[in-house]
Amino acid sequence: MISSKNSAVHLFFAMLSALFPLSASQNCNEGTRLVCYGQSGGTSQDVDVEEVAYVAEQLRAMSEDGPAFWTMPANPTLDECDEWTLYEPFGTVWVLAKHTSNRVNSSVSYDEMANTIDGGVDATEEQRKNSILGCGTGGGQLVVQINASNPVYKTEAYKTTTGVPRDILIKVVSSKLQGKF
Protein backbone atom coordinates (compact mmCIF):
# COMPACT_ATOMS: atom_id res chain seq x y z
CA MET A 1 0.00 0.00 0.00
CA ILE A 2 1.32 3.44 -0.94
CA SER A 3 0.92 6.03 1.73
CA SER A 4 -0.26 9.52 0.95
CA LYS A 5 2.98 10.77 2.51
CA ASN A 6 5.01 8.76 -0.05
CA SER A 7 2.80 10.01 -2.88
CA ALA A 8 3.27 13.59 -1.77
CA VAL A 9 7.06 13.15 -1.64
CA HIS A 10 7.12 11.57 -5.14
CA LEU A 11 4.89 14.34 -6.49
CA PHE A 12 7.15 16.99 -4.92
CA PHE A 13 10.29 15.54 -6.54
CA ALA A 14 8.55 15.09 -9.90
CA MET A 15 7.52 18.76 -9.87
CA LEU A 16 10.99 19.82 -8.75
CA SER A 17 12.69 17.91 -11.58
CA ALA A 18 10.30 19.43 -14.11
CA LEU A 19 11.08 22.94 -12.88
CA PHE A 20 14.84 22.43 -12.59
CA PRO A 21 16.07 19.90 -15.14
CA LEU A 22 19.53 18.44 -14.61
CA SER A 23 20.65 19.44 -18.07
CA ALA A 24 21.76 23.07 -18.25
CA SER A 25 21.47 23.29 -22.01
CA GLN A 26 19.33 21.98 -24.79
CA ASN A 27 21.35 20.25 -27.49
CA CYS A 28 18.77 19.75 -30.24
CA ASN A 29 20.47 16.46 -31.12
CA GLU A 30 22.98 18.13 -33.44
CA GLY A 31 26.27 17.32 -31.71
CA THR A 32 29.43 19.42 -31.80
CA ARG A 33 31.59 17.50 -34.27
CA LEU A 34 31.98 18.18 -37.96
CA VAL A 35 29.33 16.35 -39.98
CA CYS A 36 29.95 16.11 -43.71
CA TYR A 37 26.67 15.46 -45.47
CA GLY A 38 26.76 12.34 -47.58
CA GLN A 39 29.82 11.02 -45.68
CA SER A 40 29.31 11.10 -41.91
CA GLY A 41 25.59 11.86 -41.90
CA GLY A 42 22.80 13.38 -43.92
CA THR A 43 22.45 13.68 -47.68
CA SER A 44 25.08 15.24 -49.92
CA GLN A 45 24.02 18.81 -50.81
CA ASP A 46 25.89 19.27 -54.11
CA VAL A 47 27.18 22.74 -53.26
CA ASP A 48 29.90 24.62 -55.16
CA VAL A 49 32.97 24.89 -52.90
CA GLU A 50 33.98 28.24 -54.43
CA GLU A 51 30.57 29.62 -53.46
CA VAL A 52 31.01 28.25 -49.92
CA ALA A 53 34.40 30.03 -49.71
CA TYR A 54 32.82 33.24 -51.03
CA VAL A 55 30.13 33.19 -48.31
CA ALA A 56 32.83 32.75 -45.64
CA GLU A 57 34.68 35.78 -47.07
CA GLN A 58 31.48 37.84 -46.99
CA LEU A 59 30.83 36.93 -43.35
CA ARG A 60 34.40 37.89 -42.48
CA ALA A 61 33.96 41.22 -44.30
CA MET A 62 31.16 42.11 -41.88
CA SER A 63 33.84 42.60 -39.22
CA GLU A 64 36.11 44.88 -41.27
CA ASP A 65 34.92 48.03 -39.48
CA GLY A 66 35.30 46.50 -36.02
CA PRO A 67 33.96 43.50 -34.17
CA ALA A 68 30.58 42.29 -35.38
CA PHE A 69 28.52 39.56 -33.78
CA TRP A 70 25.71 37.18 -34.68
CA THR A 71 23.40 36.96 -31.69
CA MET A 72 20.63 34.45 -31.07
CA PRO A 73 18.54 35.37 -28.03
CA ALA A 74 17.31 32.97 -25.40
CA ASN A 75 13.82 31.66 -26.03
CA PRO A 76 13.25 28.92 -23.44
CA THR A 77 9.56 28.58 -24.35
CA LEU A 78 10.40 26.92 -27.67
CA ASP A 79 10.21 23.13 -27.88
CA GLU A 80 12.72 23.09 -30.74
CA CYS A 81 15.86 25.08 -31.41
CA ASP A 82 15.79 28.22 -33.56
CA GLU A 83 17.35 27.94 -37.00
CA TRP A 84 17.84 31.12 -39.02
CA THR A 85 19.28 32.05 -42.38
CA LEU A 86 22.80 33.32 -41.71
CA TYR A 87 23.55 34.22 -45.32
CA GLU A 88 20.93 34.48 -48.04
CA PRO A 89 21.18 31.74 -50.67
CA PHE A 90 24.05 32.39 -53.05
CA GLY A 91 24.26 30.16 -56.10
CA THR A 92 24.09 26.60 -54.80
CA VAL A 93 24.75 27.55 -51.16
CA TRP A 94 22.43 28.38 -48.26
CA VAL A 95 24.03 28.97 -44.85
CA LEU A 96 21.99 28.52 -41.68
CA ALA A 97 22.74 29.20 -38.02
CA LYS A 98 21.10 26.96 -35.44
CA HIS A 99 20.83 27.96 -31.80
CA THR A 100 21.53 24.72 -29.95
CA SER A 101 20.47 26.06 -26.55
CA ASN A 102 17.43 28.31 -26.40
CA ARG A 103 18.09 28.82 -22.70
CA VAL A 104 20.94 31.32 -23.19
CA ASN A 105 21.72 34.37 -25.30
CA SER A 106 24.42 33.16 -27.67
CA SER A 107 26.63 35.57 -29.56
CA VAL A 108 29.65 34.76 -31.72
CA SER A 109 31.88 36.83 -33.97
CA TYR A 110 31.34 36.81 -37.72
CA ASP A 111 35.07 36.06 -38.08
CA GLU A 112 34.74 32.85 -36.10
CA MET A 113 31.68 31.81 -38.09
CA ALA A 114 33.69 32.36 -41.27
CA ASN A 115 36.61 30.38 -39.81
CA THR A 116 34.22 27.55 -38.96
CA ILE A 117 33.17 27.46 -42.60
CA ASP A 118 36.59 27.79 -44.30
CA GLY A 119 39.25 27.15 -41.63
CA GLY A 120 40.49 30.75 -41.50
CA VAL A 121 42.06 33.40 -43.72
CA ASP A 122 45.41 31.65 -44.11
CA ALA A 123 44.18 28.18 -43.17
CA THR A 124 46.56 25.26 -43.21
CA GLU A 125 45.50 22.15 -45.08
CA GLU A 126 44.57 20.58 -41.72
CA GLN A 127 42.45 23.59 -40.66
CA ARG A 128 40.62 23.59 -43.98
CA LYS A 129 40.04 19.83 -43.73
CA ASN A 130 38.48 20.31 -40.26
CA SER A 131 36.16 23.09 -41.45
CA ILE A 132 32.84 22.75 -43.28
CA LEU A 133 34.68 23.58 -46.52
CA GLY A 134 36.62 20.36 -45.92
CA CYS A 135 33.37 18.49 -46.61
CA GLY A 136 33.64 19.50 -50.25
CA THR A 137 30.53 19.52 -52.41
CA GLY A 138 28.56 17.58 -49.81
CA GLY A 139 28.21 20.55 -47.46
CA GLY A 140 28.05 19.97 -43.74
CA GLN A 141 27.60 21.34 -40.27
CA LEU A 142 29.79 22.28 -37.33
CA VAL A 143 29.35 24.17 -34.09
CA VAL A 144 31.09 27.56 -34.30
CA GLN A 145 34.72 27.07 -33.33
CA ILE A 146 35.39 29.63 -30.60
CA ASN A 147 38.80 30.97 -29.65
CA ALA A 148 38.13 31.70 -25.97
CA SER A 149 41.11 34.08 -25.81
CA ASN A 150 39.87 36.13 -28.78
CA PRO A 151 39.96 39.76 -27.55
CA VAL A 152 36.69 40.60 -29.36
CA TYR A 153 34.83 38.83 -26.56
CA LYS A 154 36.26 41.34 -24.04
CA THR A 155 35.11 44.45 -25.94
CA GLU A 156 32.28 46.76 -24.91
CA ALA A 157 30.59 45.92 -28.21
CA TYR A 158 30.47 42.26 -27.19
CA LYS A 159 29.33 42.98 -23.66
CA THR A 160 26.29 44.83 -25.03
CA THR A 161 25.14 41.59 -26.70
CA THR A 162 24.67 40.04 -23.22
CA GLY A 163 25.58 36.78 -24.92
CA VAL A 164 27.93 33.90 -24.34
CA PRO A 165 30.23 32.70 -27.14
CA ARG A 166 28.76 29.21 -27.63
CA ASP A 167 25.76 27.16 -28.74
CA ILE A 168 25.55 28.22 -32.40
CA LEU A 169 25.91 25.63 -35.14
CA ILE A 170 26.56 26.49 -38.80
CA LYS A 171 24.99 24.44 -41.60
CA VAL A 172 25.97 24.67 -45.26
CA VAL A 173 23.15 23.20 -47.34
CA SER A 174 21.81 23.37 -50.89
CA SER A 175 19.98 26.56 -51.82
CA LYS A 176 17.36 24.27 -53.40
CA LEU A 177 16.15 23.51 -49.86
CA GLN A 178 15.06 27.08 -49.17
CA GLY A 179 11.38 27.18 -48.30
CA LYS A 180 11.18 23.41 -47.76
CA PHE A 181 11.42 23.57 -43.95
DSSP string, 98-109: EES-TTS-EEEE
Task: Please indicate, yes or no, if residue 3 is contained in any of the structural domains.
Answer: no
Bigger pLDDT: 140 or 148?
140
Structural domain boundaries, residue 50 = 26-177
Task: Please indicate, yes or no, if residue 162 is contained in any of the structural domains.
Answer: yes
Separation CA 169–CA 180 (nearest Å) = 20
Task: Please indicate, yes or no, if residue 127 is contained in any of the structural domains.
Answer: yes
Q: Is the pLDDT of residue 162 over 50?
A: yes
Task: Please indicate, yes or no, if residue 8 is contained in any of the structural domains.
Answer: no
Query: How far, rounded to the nearest angstrom, does the alpha carbon of residue 10 sit from its chain's CA centroid?
Result: 38
- Name the pLDDT band for 135 (thresholds 50, 70, 90): very high
Q: What per-residue confidence (pLDDT) applies to 54?
A: 98
- Name the pLDDT band for 19 (thresholds 50, 70, 90): very low
CA angle (86, 127, 96) in 5-degree steps: 15
Give per-residue pLDDT as tens, 25-72.
445 778 899 999 999 888 999 999 999 999 999 999 998 888 899 999
Q: What is the largest CA-CA distance in the chain?
A: 71
Nearest in space to 117 (alpha carbons), one of 72, 173, 78: 173
Separation CA 165–CA 147 (nearest Å) = 9
Task: Please indicate, yes or no, if residue 153 is contained in any of the structural domains.
Answer: yes
Task: Please indicate, yes or no, if residue 39 is contained in any of the structural domains.
Answer: yes
* Percentage of the chain exceeding pLDDT 90: 71
Task: Please indicate, yes or no, if residue 14 is contained in any of the structural domains.
Answer: no
- The number of distinct structural domains making up the chain is 1
- Name the pLDDT band for 180 (thresholds 50, 70, 90): low
Q: What per-residue confidence (pLDDT) applies to 127?
A: 98
Separation CA 97–CA 41 (nearest Å) = 18
The pTM is what?
Answer: 0.82
Whether residue 59 contacts residue 114, with contact meaning beta carbons closer than 8 Å, is answered with yes
Task: Please indicate, yes or no, if residue 6 is contained in any of the structural domains.
Answer: no
The alpha-helical segments, DSSP class H, found in the chain are 4-19, 49-61, 110-118, 125-129, 156-159
